[in-house]
Amino acid sequence: MSLASADDALTGALLGWYDRHRRVLPWRAPAGRRADPYHVWLSEIMLQQTTVATVKSYFDDFVARWPRVEDLAAADLDAVLHAWQGLGYYARARNLHKCAKAVAGDHGGRFPDTEAGLLSLPGVGPYTAAAIAAIAFDVSASPVDGNIERVTARLRRISEPLPDGKKAIQAAARDLTPNARPGDFAQAMMDLGAMVCTPRAPKCDLCPWHDPCLARVAGDAENLPHRAPKAAKPTRHGVVFWIEDATDRVLLRRRPEAGLLGGMMEFPSTDWREAPWGAGEAMVQAPLDAVWVQAGEVRHTFTHFHLHLDVLRGKRDGGAGTWIHPRDFHALALPTLMKKVVKAALG
């Protein structure tokens, strides 16, 4: 069999399997129909940080509130951040809103239909551009998410450890991508990775690529893709100042737009640094003078570091700043870390 016909056979086997077993997902079009680019974009941004099961309810909520990209563009940023709560990485939600504004304002409400055009949008990287181009516009593009990475590494038995091995996997995925039905092909790879070629105990007997899969033949599918060992995460330390006025309102401030939890509301704190804080030096960074008592501590893990916060509680008669009663916190887009602070402070 020639190389071209071998690849045609691979494509045909996978698309045949997809036609019988494809997942029904809220952002996916029925068989034979093109998906709405707004739905594909929204789901792909949400899926970058969590699972399909979690994203479904967020996706339904967003589409119910903002049925078109123009509606999302016109929404208040705080409302978008609030609806995003629980999906993590708020920078993505801010970029989502920026991107909606760009599509509504600069592109007449229509997403660009090429990878290059999509890449020019805020918050859209190479993976997302390829996914939208393939799924919404049937462009022969090759998005490589975690599922496609695993399936491709096993099919072609690519053993170079990640992250360096990504290049070889992406090249192999590009070689596999057909000109006909590329959107279905990408989604078929995603479904195969989610349902059959799972990280643990892949169900090779049910796989349309059972025969040509090199890792299955070699018996090492479950070990692929290999990963380079991760460096240990450092721990940073900070002190949070929970300050109440005479009516139990609490002082909050907004974080700078750039950086971690950018633009989110927080309780004032010291810097977060590698050395633990002594009581005296922490007080220098308190926004107001007060008599402090230790209220509790919080532990949280971000992608690149663990954080340990001591929570100090103090009373003041108020002053400049944003004072909000805890009963009204539900209306704020408080990140998970700050919700932990609330719990520690209020016991």
Contact residues for ligand SF4, defined by CB under 6 A? 151, 154-155, 196-197, 202, 204, 207, 209-210, 213, 215-216, 221
Q: Tokens representing 185? A: 């092909």
CB nearer to ligand SF4: give 94 or 154. Answer: 154
CB nearer to ligand SF4: give 13 or 295. Answer: 13
Q: Go through 185-200 and write b for each residue having 16 or more CB atoms within 10 A of its CB, e for each that does not.
A: bbbbbbbbbbbbbeee
Give the position of tokens 């181009």: 133
Q: Is 44 a catalytic site residue?
A: yes
Q: Tokens representing 263? A: 């633009």
CB of 210 to ligand SF4, least distance (A): 5
Catalytic hit among 44, 115, 149, 244: 44
Using CA atoms, how far apart are residues 118 and 126, in angstroms rounded to an integer?
Answer: 9
CB of 327 to ligand SF4, least distance (A): 52
Q: Tokens representing 191? A: 């479904």
CB of 19 to ligand SF4, least distance (A): 17
CB nearer to ligand SF4: give 206 or 293. Answer: 206
CB of 55 to ligand SF4, least distance (A): 24
CB of 170 to ligand SF4, least distance (A): 17
Closest CA to 177 of 130, 212, 224: 130
CB nearer to ligand SF4: give 78 or 175. Answer: 175
- Angular region, 194: left φ>0, alpha ψ -120 to 50, beta rest: alpha
CB of 162 to ligand SF4, least distance (A): 17
Handedness of CA 84, 90, 92, 97 (dihedral sign): positive
Cβ atoms < 10 Å from Cβ of 100: 27
CB nearer to ligand SF4: give 125 or 199. Answer: 199
CB nearer to ligand SF4: give 37 or 208. Answer: 208
Which residues form the catalytic set? 44
